[in-house]
Amino acid sequence: MKRVINLDNWNRKEHFKFFSALDDPFWGITTTVDFTSVYQQSKNMEVSFFLYSVYFLLKCINATTAFKLRIENGEVVEYDKINISPTIGREDGTFGFGFFEYDTDLSLFIENAEKEIHRVKNSAGLSFSKDTARADVIRYSALPWFAFSEMKHAGSIQTGDSIPKISTGKLIQEKKKLLLPISISVHHGLVDGRNIAEFIQNLKDGQNNTL
């Protein structure tokens, strides 16, 4: 489900029109977030850190209103739920695009995600589906082989894309903490710095069970 934002009553109307007219309206940041609790929780529950961390990211994304906004046919819409389209690697070194539907029930989320991982791993090419083309997603890639301090996300400006892109890297051990590199790319007509700050704060609050 989604609702159309009334631009005439939206306090970001001028910001939206200004940034949407730019050749490249996307901007982004790269930072690290303490993911020690997320990692420990996945181990305590004996579940995949990848799937648990994606579930946690989605929980925080859905608590950040700006990340639920999209541009469709010149209108701004807000979805009531955001899912995720991750890249899923195969044994032959290629990857395909998957679709994980967000569910607050962790067990159900993992069960459905594992079915999708099986589908992609047993397919060829980019493994597009009707769900990977949906707008109510976050484009996501996990890069567990290395940490990073900067990243540029691929995108198609001419298609009017407005979907946020998030990538995470290898956990960085810093004393007793595990820091997760995270790169976020968003459409400036929809998302400002304070919105990304809200998302990062949600990542912190979520680990303290205050989200």
* Domains observed in the chain: 1-205 (3.30.559.10)
Rounded mean pLDDT of the chain? 95
Which listed residue (118, 153, 187, 188) is catalytic? 188
Structure-model confidence comparison of residues 195 and 156, the more confident one: 195
HEC assignment per residue over the chain: CEEECCHHHCCCHHHHHHHHCCCCCEEEEEEEEECHHHHHHHHHHCCCHHHHHHHHHHHHHCCCHHHHEEEECCEEEEECCCEEEEEEECCCCCEEECCECCCCCHHHHHHHHHHHHHHHHCCCCCCCCCCCCCCCEEEEEECCCCCCCCCCCCCCHHHCCCCCEEEECCCEEECCEEEEEEEEEEECCCCCHHHHHHHHHHHHHHHCCCC
Structure-model confidence comparison of residues 129 and 158, the more confident one: 129
What pLDDT does 211 receive? 56
pLDDT tens digit sequence for 173-204? 999 999 999 999 999 999 999 999 999 999 99
User: pLDDT band at residue 153, thresholds of 50, 70 and 90?
Assistant: confident
Q: Catalytic residue at 153?
A: no
User: pLDDT band at residue 156, thresholds of 50, 70 and 90?
Assistant: confident
Asked if pLDDT for residue 209 goes beyond 90, the answer is: no
pLDDT tens digit sequence for 79-138? 999 999 999 999 999 999 999 999 999 999 999 999 999 999 999 999 999 999 999 999
Asked if pLDDT for residue 20 goes beyond 60, the answer is: yes
Ranges 16-25, 157-166, 169-178: which has the least confidence: 157-166
User: pLDDT band at residue 160, thresholds of 50, 70 and 90?
Assistant: confident
What pLDDT does 194 receive? 98
